[in-house]
Amino acid sequence: MTMVKIFKGSKPSRRSFLKGALAAGGAVTGAGLAQAAPDTAITELQPWNQNLGDGVDVSPYGVPSEFEAHVQRKNVEWLTADTVSSINFTPLHELDGILTPNGLCFERHHAGVAEVDPAKHRLMINGLVDKPLVFTLQDLMRFPRENHVYFLECAANTGMEWRGAQLNGCQFTHGMIHNVMYTGVPLRLILEEAGVKTNGKWVMPEGADASAMTRSVPIEKAMDDCLVAFKMNGEALRPEQGYPMRLVVPGWEGNMWIKWLRRIEVGDMPWHHREETSKYTDLLENGSARRFTWEMDAKSVITNPSPQAPLNHGKGHTVLTGVAWSGRGTVPRVDVTLDGGKNWHQARISGPSLPMSMHRFYFEFDWDGSPLLLQSRAHDSTGYVQPTKDQLRVIRGENSIYHNNGIQTWYVNEQGIAENVEIS
Ligand SMILES: Nc1nc2c(c(=O)[nH]1)N[C@H]1C(S)=C(S)[C@@H](COP(=O)(O)O)O[C@H]1N2
Ligand SMILES: [Mo]
């Protein structure tokens, strides 16, 4: 198992690497030498060869192998004062493909997980509508439903990295994201049932949890592709993800995806509530705050190798992999570099390329055992190219927390140990 080291203070000497750093070469410990002794994994019977295993029904709801027990969501204790208004992170370095398993989807709660009894849950539509309505979960399930795979990224993802490399692992730098298939009813159908008045220009979804979270969503988005979802990856939403129903706002910042959705008010103006004024706004260099940054820009990260997933097989055939996404469409191309941006190579995307969904990329290469400066760069279907952190800082300054989609760098040394660094 990998030890996770979290950097709290600043250690600039280890984190700032000049491009010249790659010049230092070194010997690599060999791997895969022919073994003189017999391989007991072949020559000896294992317990599972000799004994019957558990029968069916021992685990009516299946769980992963005990050997995968280290694959977990994790939080960073010093980030928040308590675990009720807090966040944990998806272990991206342990996953493959594009779907996040339900039990590993990162969680962000402002007042803990609401344990909602669906029989006592209602969804109200009120405000500027012809006919205010109240739906039960059963009522909702009589509307036509759709299936879509979407990523949800918290606007604060990578927020700790604005001023320099900070957290040692893609789970912590990029793990405020999950990608699942939702089953739900288009919000448009529900709003049409209530009949939005001509002056209805905004909707305000509200959560049933103790934080009663609210956001203002423009009617165009509400009528376009928002869903009221009740299933994720085929099964009921998990309590952590808003059981029995949540709002899905494709491509837009996670904060708008109201969980435990209990009410949608239609209005003629935005409400300017806490989550769109004091939080989730971007303080610019000139002191003004940019508001309503809804769409999540194209972004990518190499998940393997990375600080929690070192290259421990020595030199030779090496599989590099990672994920990329864009709130504005698909990601037709991802480039990777092994030398901090001197040479870029086009990565291979494998798996579905769906709009506003994660994409999986691979790059296979022969590692010569010398240090690497790994980066990935996403190009989305609008032609936008993921910027470097320096390019972002020119536009955004250094006061921001949210919406950091800058290029991530991992330094891999001769031993294959990877570290979060920034190239200056
Ligand atoms: N009702 C309610 N909805 C909520 C929140 C919340 O605390 N309460 N957190 C929001 C934030 S900030 C994010 S990033 C996403 C996180 O969704 P997840 O827990 O499924 O990852 O839910 C959003 N919806
Ligand atoms: Mo968030």
CA distance 301 to 325: 10
Instruction: Look at residue 7 and tell me if it is in a domain.
Output: no
CATH number of the domain within which 246 lies? 3.90.420.10
The phi and psi torsions of 79 (rounded to 5 degrees) equal: -70, -40
The reply to whether ligand 1 has any atom less than 6 angstroms from the CB of 209 is: yes
- State which of 263, 290, 317 marks the end of a domain: 290
In sequence order, what E strands does 258-381 have?
261-267, 282-283, 289-290, 299-304, 316-325, 333-337, 345-346, 348-349, 359-367, 372-379
Per-residue pLDDT tens digits for 367-398: 999 999 999 999 999 999 999 999 999 999 88
CA distance 122 to 263: 8
Are 251 and 377 contained in the same domain?
Answer: no
- State which of 290, 308, 337 marks the end of a domain: 290
CA distance 294 to 251: 8
Please give the tally of structural domains in the chain: 2
CATH number of the domain within which 348 lies? 2.60.40.650
Gap from CA of 118 to ligand 2 centroid (Å): 24
Are 221 and 318 contained in the same domain?
Answer: no
Q: What is residue 36's predicted lDDT score, i.e. its pLDDT?
A: 81
Are 153 and 276 contained in the same domain?
Answer: yes
Determine which residue's CA is closest to atom 12 belonging to ligand 1. Answer: 255
pLDDT above 70: residue 11: no
Are 279 and 409 contained in the same domain?
Answer: no
CA distance 303 to 43: 35
* Ligand 1 atom at shortest distance from the alpha carbon of 154: 14
CA distance 386 to 366: 26
Per-residue pLDDT tens digits for 319-356: 999 999 999 999 999 999 999 999 999 999 999 999 99
Q: Which ligand is nearest to the CA of 73?
A: 1
Are 215 and 194 contained in the same domain?
Answer: yes
Are 259 and 401 contained in the same domain?
Answer: no
Are 251 and 395 contained in the same domain?
Answer: no
The reply to whether ligand 1 has any atom less than 6 angstroms from the CB of 254 is: yes
- What domain range is 368 assigned to? 295-423
Gap from CA of 125 to ligand 2 centroid (Å): 24
Per-residue pLDDT tens digits for 52-87: 999 999 999 999 999 999 999 999 989 998 998 999
- Residue 303's pLDDT band (cuts 50, 70, 90): very high
Per-residue pLDDT tens digits for 238-251: 999 999 999 999 99
Q: What is residue 278's predicted lDDT score, i.e. its pLDDT?
A: 87
With residue 187 as reference, give the H or E element that holds it: helix 187-194
Gap from CA of 104 to ligand 1 centroid (Å): 15
To test the pocket of ligand 1, the residue of 157, 243, 257, 402 to mutate (highest count of ligand atoms within 8 Å of its CB) is 257
The reply to whether ligand 1 has any atom less than 6 angstroms from the CB of 249 is: no
- State which of 271, 290, 309 marks the end of a domain: 290
Are 285 and 143 contained in the same domain?
Answer: yes
Are 248 and 300 contained in the same domain?
Answer: no
Are 267 and 125 contained in the same domain?
Answer: yes
Over 23-76, what HEC string results? Answer: HCCCCCCCCCCCCCCCCHHHHCCCHHHHCCCCCCCCCCCCCCCHHHCCCCCECC
- Residue 29's pLDDT band (cuts 50, 70, 90): very low
Contact 216, 276 (CB under 8 A): yes
- Residue 35's pLDDT band (cuts 50, 70, 90): low
Contact 374, 342 (CB under 8 A): no
